[in-house]
């Protein structure tokens, strides 16, 4: 019995630090968006992205939406093709829908499709009842349909965690978030999804407030913030989500990171302010490359640091462009 007790003490002494090391072990992940964009020109360039991502060996990658130009038709063939590329990533791959995949499909260049119908195709092709990531290696995800059954439709809303960092996706898209006041069907879709987004975001902040979490990272497609007025929504489609985000960030008092695509402009800044105009220093916005610039953002995570996420550009030499060349055709 004495030897057994001694074994237990030695096991506890050895195993506890091991668990602590695993919990705070640094790791990397990658973020991208608005790519591939100009087709078919970008097919080879996106293969360069895949190769660079696989060489980096991240814990996972997140795509913040827009897998083609808004001028490219939203026909049934485009979605499985993109899915095939996503599944070439060796590591878990999480996808957030973009406006070019469904919201903008009503335009003539995009084929004059019904956006709600195209959204159904996006959900059917890219998301499954198993609630797991894409990629060759799959990551189990916690879905809004499980946590909040009243929003069972929104299988694109997912979250996961690693090293005390909580990650969550939000289906918020460009083109004013599909809030087209002159279209009843669009407004019905927007209002219902807006409720689901607000509920899922609130749930993420509540989960992140638990002691085991050090920070929260959110991913969406749209740039929801005004370029001229700090902390103001970019349009009516973001009139609820931006104030809710600001209130939640101020209440959490832990680092919060928002990754998004949409503007094709890589940046890292702190655009949120309090009601008195003070910068909310615990909030960081990171926008992806995209459009003509097919490069990655590499995020280095050290859970032990007070600022646990540090983002930097991961440039892909094969995708660098001659700045003197004219822009490619939007078609």
Give the pLDDT score at 230: 82
Token pair 């995020």: residue: 299
Q: Residue ranges of the chain with pLDDT lower than 50? A: 1-21
CB-count exposure of residue 112 (10 Å: 0-12, 13-18, 19+): exposed
Residue ranges of domains in the chain: 25-319
Q: What is the pLDDT of residue 330?
A: 56
**Angle, vertex CA 137, rays to CA 136 and CA 138, nearest 5:** 110
Q: Which residue has the tokens 């590591």?
A: 91
CA 188 to chain centre: 24
* pLDDT value of position 14: 33
User: Could you tell me the strand order of the sheet in which 142-143 lies?
Assistant: 142-143, 158-162, 165-169, 215-220, 256-260, 283-287, 267-269
* Annotation: CATH topology of 25-319: Purple Acid Phosphatase; chain A, domain 2 (3.60.21)
Residue-level pLDDT at 331:
55
Tokens 């990397």 appear where?
Answer: 28
CA dist., res. 273 & res. 225, Å (int): 12
pLDDT for the residue numbered 70? 93
How confident is the model over 126-170, as pLDDT tens digits?
998 899 999 999 999 999 999 999 999 999 999 999 999 999 999
Q: In angstroms, how far is CA 173 from the centroid of its own chain?
A: 11
Predicted local distance difference test score (pLDDT) of residue 326: 82
What are the structure tokens assigned to 106, written together?
């009503």
Strands 296-301 and 283-287: unpaired
132 alpha carbon, distance to own chain's centre: 15
Q: Nearest 5 degrees, angle CA 202-CA 205-CA 207? A: 110
What pLDDT does residue 2 have?
A: 39
pLDDT at 283: 98
Convert 90-135 into a string of H (helix), E (strand) and C (coil).
CCCEEECCCHHHCHHHHCCCCCCCCHHHHHHHHHHHHCCCCCECEC
Residue 8's pLDDT is what? 33
Specify the 3-state DSSP secondary structure of 84: helix
Query: pTM above 0.85?
Result: yes
Residue 1: beta bridge partners? none
Note the pLDDT of residue 227. 85
């Amino acid at each position: 019995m004495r030897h057994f007790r001694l074994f237990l003490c030695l096991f506890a002494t050895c195993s506890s630090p091991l668990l602590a090391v695993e919990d705070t072990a640094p790791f990397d992940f990658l973020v991208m968006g608005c790519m591939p964009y100009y087709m078919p020109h970008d097919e080879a360039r996106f293969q360069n992205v895949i190769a660079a991502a696989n060489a980096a060996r991240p814990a996972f990658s997140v795509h913040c939406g827009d897998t083609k130009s808004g001028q490219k038709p939203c026909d049934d063939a485009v979605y499985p093709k993109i899915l095939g590329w996503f599944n070439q990533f060796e590591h878990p791959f999480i996808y957030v829908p973009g406006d070019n995949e469904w919201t903008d499909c009503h335009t003539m260049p995009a084929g004059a499709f019904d956006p709600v119908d195209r959204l159904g195709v996006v959900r059917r092709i890219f998301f499954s009842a198993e609630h797991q990531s894409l990629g060759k290696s799959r990551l189990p995800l916690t879905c809004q349909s499980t946590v909040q059954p009243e929003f069972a439709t929104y299988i694109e809303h997912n979250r996961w965690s690693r090293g005390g960092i909580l990650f969550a996706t939000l289906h918020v898209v460009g083109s004013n978030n599909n809030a087209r006041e002159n279209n009843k069907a669009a407004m019905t879709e927007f209002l219902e999804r807006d409720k689901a987004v607000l509920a899922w975001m609130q749930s993420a902040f509540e989960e992140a407030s638990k002691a085991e979490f050090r920070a929260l990272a959110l991913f969406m497609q749209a740039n929801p913030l005004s370029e001229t007025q700090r902390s103001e929504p970019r349009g009516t489609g973001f009139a609820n989500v931006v104030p809710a985000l600001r209130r939640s960030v101020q209440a959490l008092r832990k680092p919060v990171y928002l990754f998004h695509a949409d503007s094709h402009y890589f940046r890292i800044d702190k655009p949120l302010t309090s009601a008195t105009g003070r910068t909310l220093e615990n909030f960081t916005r990171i926008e992806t490359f995209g459009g003509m610039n097919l490069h990655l953002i590499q995020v280095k995570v050290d859970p032990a640091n007070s600022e646990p996420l540090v983002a930097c550009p991961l440039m892909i030499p094969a995708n660098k462009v001659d700045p003197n060349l004219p822009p490619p055709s939007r078609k």
